[in-house]
């Protein structure tokens, strides 16, 4: 797709909305008439179905009390596995390879504690310098827990330009000293989509286990983790999957690793038939369910019962196609409307390498984001100079995109952003 094939007009935006096969999902979400929401890659919006799912679990708690664990329409005891089965098709996995549990960083700790087993020459973890910092904090911690020095035993693949990673450079770092590789599926700043199957194949050729952080791709890009033989993956459910702030996260473990005792064990990772035997010996579930630790956060899982069925109805291929179309339309509008205003496109233009958001770079990015919010467009700022704009296929219209660019153009022409300090807020 070349993004010059779109017409940069309001009429064209209306025409695309009129023929959008996913457009009917828009009415499922609580959208403000006073703003345009382009921050779904950071926190997805509430849907009517998710709201109802929360009401349902509250009602079960009210009616059933402790019997909610085994009674009602959705017994709490089995909800993590049920949600895993809903998520599995989105990442190309079997139902028992996915579990909803923990948070992104807790799940990385769990997976790293399981699969990072330094021995002999293989003592190092390979990550990258552009990944979300929380992942590095967790990996540094895991290295220290083995009595090793992160400065020496956590290797970071470098970026040549501060935006993108080169797979050849990553592969060159896959030496005989590497015990584990942890990489993002999509880079959180630039939106670059890595070649997951190639990296997995190259890691396995060298006898290295590899896992991926899918926070910025699951729900907007189809994956085939099982087919690609990925060892493990983990992601949050509050971005494109619209599970709500603090929504319980998820992880994938390839079935070839079933039976391995997780590095961090807890009673909810037990075989469900034995969990309430209260024996002193841990009997792990023979599935990704073994990677659970403590009691599930039932109230925080509830919205996913409302949000996830929409992805099955829409289909991940259709979601991906609309996402690519909308980000291409956005890039063309930025090209035609904002030339001369100092913006640089910091994301891949190639469909095969682009995630779900557009990354717009500008020296005044923080104050431009503030001006956008004041004018009813909700973007996302990432230091030092990135404005992330994410059309979300289930609820963003083409007209939303067109209007947003017109508002940004007006802000730049009138220099109204100059009234704000070029500094991020407490939460960017």
Q: What would you report as the CA-atom Rg of the chain, rounded to the nearest whole angstrom? A: 22
Catalytic residue among 39, 60, 213, 380, which? 213
- Angle of helix 298-314 versus helix 48-64 axis, rounded to 10: 140
Residue 372 to residue 401: CA distance in whole angstroms: 13
- Annotate 357-390 with DSSP letters as a single string: -EEEE-TTHHHHHHHHHHTTEE-EEETTTEEEEB
Average pLDDT, whole number, for the chain? 96
| 277 — pLDDT class (breaks 50, 70, 90) | confident
Active site residue 188: no
Catalytic residue among 132, 137, 282, 420, which? 132
Residue identified by tokens 């067109």 is 402
Residues 241-251 have pLDDT tens digits of: 999 999 999 99
pLDDT at 1: 47
Distances (CA, A) of 158 to 11, 131, 373: 44, 11, 34
- Annotate 26-58 with DSSP letters as a single string: GGGB---TT-EE-BTTTSPPPBHHHHHHHHHHH
Residues 93-144 have pLDDT tens digits of: 999 999 999 999 999 999 999 999 999 999 999 999 999 999 999 999 999 9
Q: Is 19 annotated as a binding residue?
A: no
Distance of CA 360 to the CA centre of its chain: 19
Residues 392-421 have pLDDT tens digits of: 999 999 999 999 999 999 999 999 999 998
Q: Which two tokens stand for residue 229?
A: 């033989």
Catalytic residue among 3, 238, 311, 417, which? 238
Residue 90 to residue 218: CA distance in whole angstroms: 7
Phi then psi for residue 381, to 5 deg, are -105, 135
- Evaluate whether 131 touches 149 at the Cβ level (below 8 Å): no
Q: Is 104 annotated as a binding residue?
A: yes
Q: Is 396 annotated as a binding residue?
A: no
pTM (2 decimals)? Answer: 0.96
Question: Average pLDDT in the 377-389 region?
Answer: 96
- Evaluate whether 386 touches 336 at the Cβ level (below 8 Å): no
| 428 — pLDDT class (breaks 50, 70, 90) | low
Question: Average pLDDT in the 149-170 region?
Answer: 98
Residues whose CB is less than 8 angstroms from the CB of residue 77 and which lie 6 or more positions away in sequence, other chains included = 69, 70, 272
Active site residue 116: no
Q: Is 420 annotated as a binding residue?
A: no
Query: Domains, the chain, ranges and CATH?
Result: 3-30+315-419 (3.90.1150.10), 52-312 (3.40.640.10)
pLDDT at 3: 53
- Evaluate whether 337 touches 8 at the Cβ level (below 8 Å): yes
pLDDT at 5: 78
Output DSSP code: residue 129. T
User: Is residue 384 reached through a cis peptide bond, with omega within 30 degrees of 0 on the bond before it?
Assistant: yes
Active site residue 132: yes
Q: Is 258 annotated as a binding residue?
A: no
Question: Average pLDDT in the 25-38 region?
Answer: 97
Specify the range with the lowest mean pLDDT, choosing from 21-35, 161-175, 199-213, 265-279.
265-279
β-bridge pairing 36-37 and 98-100: unpaired
Q: Is 327 annotated as a binding residue?
A: no
Residues whose CB is less than 8 angstroms from the CB of residue 20 and which lie 6 or more positions away in sequence, other chains included = 322, 397, 398
Q: Which two tokens stand for residue 292?
A: 């659970």
Number of H helices, E strands in the chain: 13, 13
Active site residue 206: no
pLDDT at 275: 82
Catalytic residue among 388, 395, 400, 417, which? 388
424 pLDDT more than 80: no
Active site residue 213: yes
Q: Which two tokens stand for residue 15?
A: 């025409």
Residues whose CB is less than 8 angstroms from the CB of residue 280 and which lie 6 or more positions away in sequence, other chains included = none
Residue 234 to residue 251: CA distance in whole angstroms: 4
Residue 335 to residue 348: CA distance in whole angstroms: 14
Residues whose CB is less than 8 angstroms from the CB of residue 117 and which lie 6 or more positions away in sequence, other chains included = 179
β-bridge pairing 209-213 and 232-235: parallel
């Amino acid at each position: 797709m070349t993004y010059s094939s779109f017409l940069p007009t309001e009429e064209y935006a209306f025409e695309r909305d009129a023929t959008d096969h996913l457009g009917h999902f828009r009415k499922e979400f609580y959208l403000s008439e006073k703003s345009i929401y382009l921050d779904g890659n950071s926190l997805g919006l509430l849907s009517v179905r998710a709201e109802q799912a929360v009401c349902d679990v509250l009602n079960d708690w009210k009616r059933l009390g402790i019997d909610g664990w085994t009674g009602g329409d959705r017994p709490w005891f089995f909800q993590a596995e049920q949600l895993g089965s809903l998520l599995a098709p989105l990442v190309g996995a079997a139902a028992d390879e996915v579990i909803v549990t923990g948070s992104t960083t807790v799940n990385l700790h769990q997976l790293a504690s399981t699969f990072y087993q330094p021995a002999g020459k293989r003592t190092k973890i390979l990550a990258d310098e552009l990944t979300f910092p929380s992942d590095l904090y967790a990996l540094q911690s895991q290295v220290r827990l083995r009595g090793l020095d992160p400065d020496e035993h956590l290797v970071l693949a470098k970026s040549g330009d501060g935006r993108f990673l080169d797979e050849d450079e990553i592969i060159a770092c896959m030496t005989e000293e590497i015990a584990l590789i942890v990489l993002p599926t999509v880079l959180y700043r630039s939106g670059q989509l890595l070649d997951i199957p190639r990296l997995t194949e190259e890691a396995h050729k060298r006898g290295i286990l590899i896992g991926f952080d899918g926070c910025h791709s699951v729900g907007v890009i189809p994956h085939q983790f099982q087919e690609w033989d990925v060892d493990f993956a983990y992601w949050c459910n509050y971005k494109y999957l619209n599970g709500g702030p603090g929504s319980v996260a998820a992880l994938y473990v390839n079935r070839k690793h079933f039976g391995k005792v997780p590095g961090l064990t807890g009673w909810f990772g037990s075989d469900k038939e034995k969990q309430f035997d209260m024996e002193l010996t841990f009997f792990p579930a023979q599935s990704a369910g073994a990677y659970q630790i403590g009691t599930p956060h039932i109230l925080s899982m509830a919205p996913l019962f409302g949000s996830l069925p929409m992805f099955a109805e829409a289909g991940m291929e259709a979601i991906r196609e609309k996402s690519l179309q909308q980000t291409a339309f956005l890039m063309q509008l930025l090209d035609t409307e904002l030339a001369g205003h100092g913006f640089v496109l910091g994301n891949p233009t190639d469909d095969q390498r682009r995630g779900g958001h557009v990354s717009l770079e500008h020296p005044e990015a923080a104050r431009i984001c503030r001006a956008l919010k004041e004018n009813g467009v909700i973007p996302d700022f990432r230091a030092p100079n990135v404005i992330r704009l994410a059309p979300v296929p289930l609820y963003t219209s083409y007209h939303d995109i067109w209007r947003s660019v017109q508002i940004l153009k007006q802000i730049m022409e009138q220099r109204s952003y100059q009234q704000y300090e070029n500094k991020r807020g407490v939460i960017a």
